[in-house]
Chain A
Amino acid sequence: MKKEREEIHIKPLGESAVTVQFGTEINSFINKKVKALATKLQNDSFSGFIECTPAFSSVTVFFDPFVVKQAYGEKEKTSFQIVRAILERMLKTFVEEKESTPQIVEIPVCYGGDFGPDLDFVAEHNGLSADEVIRLHASAQYPVYMIGFAPGFPYLGGLSEKINAPRRPSPRTSIPAGSVGIAGSQTGVYPISTPGGWQLIGRTPMALFRPDRDQPSVLSAGDIVKFAPITKEEYEQYRERLQ
Chain B
Amino acid sequence: MSVQIIRPGLLATIQDLGRYGFQQYGVVVGGAMDSLSLRLANILVGNEEGEAAIEITMMGTSLQFKEDALISITGGNLSPVIDENPVPSWRPIFVRKDAILSFTGCKLGCRAYVAVAGGFSIPEVMNSKSTYMRGEIGGFKGRALREGDLIPLAEENSFSRKVKEAYQRKLKQSSFAAADWHVPFERYVNRSVVRVLKGAEFEKFSDSSQKQFFEQEFHITPQSDRMGYRLSGASLQLKEPFELLSEAVANGTIQVPGDGNPIVLLADRQTTGGYPRIGQIAAADLPVIAQMKPGDRIRFQEIPLYKAEQLYIEREQEIAQIRTALLLKKWSFE
Interface residue ranges, A against B (CB under 8 Å): 11-17, 19, 21, 24-26, 38, 50-58, 60, 62, 65-66, 69, 78-80, 146-153, 155, 166-171, 173, 183-186, 191-195, 197, 209, 211, 215-217, 220
User: Which are the 5 A-B pairs with shortest beta-carbon distances?
Assistant: A60-B248, A148-B272, A53-B248, A15-B308, A217-B25
What's the least CB distance linking B105 to chain A, in Å? 27
In the complex where A14-B282, A194-B270, A215-B25 touch, is A19 in contact with B309 (Cβ < 8 A)? no
User: Does B246 reach chain A (CB closer than 8 Å)?
Assistant: yes
| Residue from A13, A15, A55 having most chain B Cβ neighbours under 10 A | A15
B215 part of interface (Cβ distance < 8 Å) = no
- C-alpha spacing A191/B273, complex, angstroms: 16
B20 to A51, Cβ gap below 8 A?
Answer: yes
Q: B280 to chain A: closest CB distance in Å?
A: 4
In the complex the two chains form, is B271's CB within 8 Å of A53's CB?
yes
Residues of A within 8 A of B23 (CB): 51-53, 62, 148
A148 to chain B, nearest CB (A): 3
Are B272 and A53 in contact, with the CB atoms below 8 A?
yes
Q: Which of B74-82, B144-152, B157-165, B249-257 contacts A (4 or more CB under 8 A)?
A: B249-257
Interface code B242-278, partner A: CB below 8 Å = 1, 0 otherwise? Answer: 0101111110110001110100000000111111000
Question: Which residues on A sit within 8 Å (CB–CB) of B271?
Answer: 53, 148-150
**Cα separation A57 to B246 with both chains bound (whole Å):** 9
Partner of B223 from the list A38, A168, A173, A185 (CB cut-off 8 Å) is A173
Residue from the set A25, A57, A170, A211 with the largest chain B CB neighbour count within 10 Å:
A211
- How far is it, in angstroms, between the C-alpha of A58 and the C-alpha of B134 when the chains are bound? 27
* Interface residue ranges of B163-180 to A (CB < 8 Å): none
Q: Does B10 contact A (CB under 8 A)?
A: no
Q: Which residues of B contact A53 (CB under 8 A)?
A: 23-24, 248, 271-272
| A146 in contact with B272 (CB, 8 Å) | yes
Which of the residues B223, B246, B252 comes within 8 Å of A56, measured between beta carbons? Answer: B246
Residues of B within 8 A of A (CB-CB), count:
49
Contact across chains for A60 and B247 when beta carbons are under 8 A apart = yes
Taking CB atoms, residues of chain A closer than 8 Å to B261 are: 170
Q: Contact partner of A55 among B137, B247, B313, CB < 8 A?
A: B247
Residue of B nearest to A56 (CB): B245
CA distance A146 to B270 in the complex (A): 14
**Cβ B245 vs Cβ A24 within 8 A:** yes
A77 to chain B, nearest CB (A): 10
Q: Are B272 and A149 in contact (CB under 8 A)?
A: yes
Q: Which chain B residues border A217 with CB–CB below 8 Å? A: 25-27
B53 CB within 8 Å of chain A: no
CB distance from B227 to the nearest CB of A (A): 7
Least distance between B288 CB and chain A CB atoms (Å): 15
Residue B125 is within 8 A (CB to CB) of chain A in the complex = yes
User: Is B26 a contact partner of A12 (Cβ separation < 8 A)?
Assistant: no
A-B contact list, 27 entries, CB within 8 Å? A13-B248, A13-B250, A13-B280, A14-B280, A15-B197, A17-B248, A51-B22, A51-B24, A55-B248, A60-B250, A62-B250, A79-B309, A80-B309, A147-B24, A148-B26, A149-B271, A150-B135, A150-B271, A169-B257, A170-B257, A170-B261, A192-B136, A194-B134, A197-B275, A209-B135, A217-B26, A220-B25
User: How far is the CB of B2 from the nearest CB of chain A, in Å?
Assistant: 25
| Chain B min CB distance to A48 (Å) | 12
Closest to B258 in A: A169
| A209 contacts across to B, CB distance below 8 A | 26, 135
Query: Across the interface, do A186 and B246 meet the contact criterion of CB distance under 8 Å?
Result: yes
CB-based contact A149/B252 at 8 Å: no
CB-CB contacts of B168-203 with A at 8 A, as 1s and 0s?
000000000000000000000000000001001000
Bound complex: CA A184 to CA B245 (Å): 10
For the complex, what is the distance from the CA of A201 to the CA of B127, rounded to whole Å? 35
Chain B residues with CB below 8 A from A197, complex form: 257, 275
Q: How many whole Å from B296's CB to the nearest CB in chain A? A: 20
- A15 engages B246 (CB within 8 Å): no
Q: A14 near B137 (CB under 8 angstroms)?
A: no
Extra contacts, 17 of them, besides A24-B245, A56-B245, A58-B245 (Cβ < 8 A), are: A15-B312, A16-B250, A55-B245, A57-B245, A66-B313, A69-B313, A79-B309, A80-B305, A80-B309, A147-B24, A148-B272, A149-B271, A150-B135, A152-B25, A166-B243, A167-B257, A170-B261
